[in-house]
Amino acid sequence: MDTTQRTEQQRSADRRRRELLEAADRVVLRDGPQASMNAIAAEAGITKPILYRHFGDKGGLYAALAKRHTDALLDSLRAALDAPAERRERVEATLDTYLAAIEARPQVYRFLMHPSDGSAGEQGFDVGKHSAPLLRRMGEELAQVIEDRLDLGPGSQQLARVWGHGIVGMMHAAGDWWLGERPCSRAELVRSLADLLWGRLAAAGDRVGGPGF
């Protein structure tokens, strides 16, 4: 097989994988944490063994969906952080971006973060085992953004990681509570969370020659 044939086969495989993930997204939007491999296979017009061939099991499919949605969310968060605005406005925009994402697709959020009653029994799937790495990845990504954009002085790398994981944990916990109870508007929650962050963050100096956080 020559290089051209291999490249075309890879493109075809990538395209088919995207189509299957889009079918999985449609089922997750409809069924949330109860989304099953049977339902996803039916939506894609294939048998479950073929779905397994692409993703291995529900854990493999979950990981692929999590990467797909986390990549998109991180791109949106970076854009909010780098927007031409005052720092407080960018912090609020970043918080709002995260909350808007989980509000727009609550079933996807619940599929990624909350196990259904029967999910652990299907192919031994355990959402909690997979969602923790997703949150860790977001924490590390935000830590890198903070370190690149703020002059935190001695121990800046460690402090940036503490802040990154702390902010992600705050957004996740507060967003989860808010999505379930809706005790206030999204704008009110954003303002309240930004107030919580606005202590030392407001006083930190921007790095010389680099974009401000």
**pLDDT, one tens digit for every residue, the chain (213 residues):** 566 767 877 888 888 889 999 999 999 999 988 888 999 999 999 999 988 888 888 888 888 888 888 889 989 988 998 888 888 998 999 999 999 999 999 998 888 888 664 444 454 445 556 677 888 988 998 899 888 888 888 889 999 999 999 999 999 999 999 999 999 999 999 999 999 988 766 766 776 655 566
151 pairs with which residues across the strands? 205
DSSP 151: E
Helix-then-strand count for the chain, H and E = 10, 2
Instruction: Report pLDDT digits (tens) over 177-197.
Output: 999 999 999 999 999 999 998
What's the pLDDT at 201? 66
CA distances from 11 to 7, 56, 126 (A): 6, 20, 31
The class level of CATH for 3-206 reads mainly alpha
Distance of alpha carbon 157 from alpha carbon 178, whole angstroms: 31
What's the pLDDT at 56? 85
Instruction: Report pLDDT digits (tens) over 105-127.
Output: 999 888 888 866 444 445 444 55
**171: closest CA among 73, 24, 40?**
73
Q: Where are the domains of the chain?
A: 3-206
**198: closest CA among 32, 67, 86, 97?**
86
Question: Other C-beta atoms within 10 Å of 105: how many?
Answer: 17
